[in-house]
Amino acid sequence: MAYRSSILIGVGAVLALAGVGFLFGEPALRYMGLKKTPPTAVAAAPPQVPPDNSVELQEGLVASVKVQAVEERDFPIEKEAVGSIDFNGDMTVQVFAPYQGRIIELFAKIGDEVRKGPTLYTIDSPDLLQAASTLITTAGVLELTTRTLVRLRDLARTKAAAQRDLEQAISDQQAAEGAHKAARDAVRIFGKTEEEIDRMVSERRVDSTLVVPSPISGRITARNAAPGLLVQPGNAPAPYSVADISTMWMIAQVHESESPSFKVGQDVKARVMAYADRVFEGHITTLGAAVDPATHRVLVRSEIADPTHELRPGMFANFVIRTGDPVRSPAIPVMGVVREGDGTMTVWVTTDRRRFSRRTVKIGLQRDDYRQILEGVRAGELVATEGAIFLSNMLTIARPQ
């Protein structure tokens, strides 16, 4: 009986509470902690994230992005270096006086363009004076012995001269002729022409003015003389230096780790600040035989054609040296490749010119405003060129951080 009474009491309590809830409604139940309060607001839905790193342009923005097909291009294997311009040392001549003497007159200044043959300077040469004096003396002896021989031959025909005297006259005339020829050759060595030698002989006048001509065509690069200066053969400095400027040297110092890539004969292209839009072409002629122990660099010297004589020694130059055969690879304009914040390189690929997908690529060489693409896209695919950065910015804004 006691157990049945407990059950009846419990059921009665439940019914009582239900009645309270029915009478007083939900506020009463909440007051008694029997019903949780529902949230007053629904949480905002997450923003739409473009799938697969894609961006779709609205109709008005399509024209702001230019699209181009990936194409195959040749990329030469090249290395860059910096250096300076200098005269071609193999084509630079020190114009020394061939004999001792004092300078009489100079006919060229530094920077003058000269041709092969015209006079650079003249000197009063005692050696030429001696040679010219000998020439005139031998000319007189030859003339005397020739007249004597002619006279004795006439006498010999009438038996009025001894045969021995005739033979002696012939011998003397031949010796005089040989001496005179040697004297002419000696004067000719000083640069005198046949006409000038004949004039010396006929006028019996010694010309001691030694003419020193330009041995090559080129530009006067140095002048170390003045009138009255005593010059000696081979004594530095030479009165003049002349350089053939149809070619110039370009001298670079490359790091020893790159030196095995360079070979004599490789093509070289160079630019100088004075002619930023010009490219000067040449080839490597000399590689340094040793590494500089202080800088660990190796000399690379190139010969560059300069037919219009625009380059000047001391000009700073950037060199591009072709070190291998070109490779053919997919290429994209430089503006179509975007460097992301994490350092990766990306391009935007499309099929319909409206929806673009970002794709990571691996880049290589650059030439003529095109980037070599090693991995990531194939030739023929459409990519954004102008406007690629705009697409990356759109994606950054659309994707929450």
**Predicted confidence (pLDDT) per residue in 295-304, tens digit:** 999 999 999 9
Peptide bond into 330 cis (omega under 30): no
Residue 70: closest CA among 387, 369, 385: 385
Distance in angstroms (rounded) separating the CA atoms of residues 89 and 75: 34
175 pLDDT tier (thresholds 50, 70, 90):
very high
Secondary structure letter of residue 48 according to DSSP: P
DSSP 93-154: EEE--SS-EEEEEE---TT-EE-SSSEEEEEE-HHHHHHHHHHHHHHHHHHHHHHHHHHHHH
Distance in angstroms (rounded) separating the CA atoms of residues 52 and 89: 63
pLDDT score for 219: 92
**How many other C-beta atoms can be found within 10 angstroms of the C-beta atom of residue 7?**
9
**How does pLDDT run across 132-145, given as a tens digit for each residue?**
899 999 999 999 99
**How does pLDDT run across 68-104, given as a tens digit for each residue?**
999 999 888 888 888 999 999 889 999 998 888 999 9
Arithmetic mean of pLDDT, 262-266: 90
Distance in angstroms (rounded) separating the CA atoms of residues 56 and 394: 10
Arithmetic mean of pLDDT, 41-52: 42
pLDDT score for 13: 41
**How does pLDDT run across 204-219, given as a tens digit for each residue?**
888 788 889 999 999 9
Distance in angstroms (rounded) separating the CA atoms of residues 239 and 96: 6
Going by C-beta distance under 8 Å and a sequence separation of 6 or more, which residues neighbour residue 76? 322, 324, 325, 326, 365, 367
Give residue 53's region: left, alpha or beta (phi > 0; psi -120 to 50).
Answer: left
Residue 317: closest CA among 329, 332, 302, 327: 302
Statement: residue 160 has pLDDT above 50 = yes
58 pLDDT tier (thresholds 50, 70, 90):
confident
Residue ranges of E strands in 117-232: 119-124, 209-213, 218-223, 230-231
Statement: residue 125 has pLDDT above 70 = yes
The residue that leads in pLDDT, 320 or 21, is 320
Tell me phi and psi for residue 99, to 5 degrees. Answer: -140, 165
pLDDT score for 96: 92
Statement: residue 5 has pLDDT above 60 = no
Contact 128, 99 (CB under 8 A): yes
CA end-to-end distance (rounded Å), the chain? 71
Statement: residue 120 has pLDDT above 90 = yes
Statement: residue 62 has pLDDT above 70 = yes
Distance in angstroms (rounded) separating the CA atoms of residues 153 and 213: 47
Arithmetic mean of pLDDT, 328-338: 92
Place of tokens 């140095």: 222
pLDDT score for 2: 42
Give residue 218's region: left, alpha or beta (phi > 0; psi -120 to 50).
Answer: left
322 pLDDT tier (thresholds 50, 70, 90):
confident
Secondary structure letter of residue 145 according to DSSP: H
pLDDT score for 52: 60
β-bridge mates for residue 271, sequence order: 318
190 pLDDT tier (thresholds 50, 70, 90):
confident
Q: Name the token pair of 315.
A: 């000009």
Percentage of the residues of the chain whose pLDDT score is greater than 70: 86
Residue 312: closest CA among 248, 244, 241, 243: 248
Distance in angstroms (rounded) separating the CA atoms of residues 75 and 39: 65
**How does pLDDT run across 215-245, given as a tens digit for each residue?**
999 999 999 989 999 998 888 899 999 999 8
400 pLDDT tier (thresholds 50, 70, 90):
low
- The whole-chain average pLDDT of the chain stands at 82
pLDDT score for 362: 93
Q: Name the token pair of 124.
A: 């009063």
The residue that leads in pLDDT, 178 or 393, is 178
Q: Rounded to an integer, what is the distance from CA 109 to the centroid of its chain?
A: 30
**How many other C-beta atoms can be found within 10 angstroms of the C-beta atom of residue 61?**
15
Q: Output Rg (C-alpha) for the chain, integer angstroms.
A: 49
pLDDT score for 34: 39
**How does pLDDT run across 278-297, given as a tens digit for each residue?**
899 999 999 999 999 999 99
Statement: residue 121 has pLDDT above 80 = yes
Residue 171: closest CA among 138, 135, 145, 141: 145
pLDDT score for 55: 84
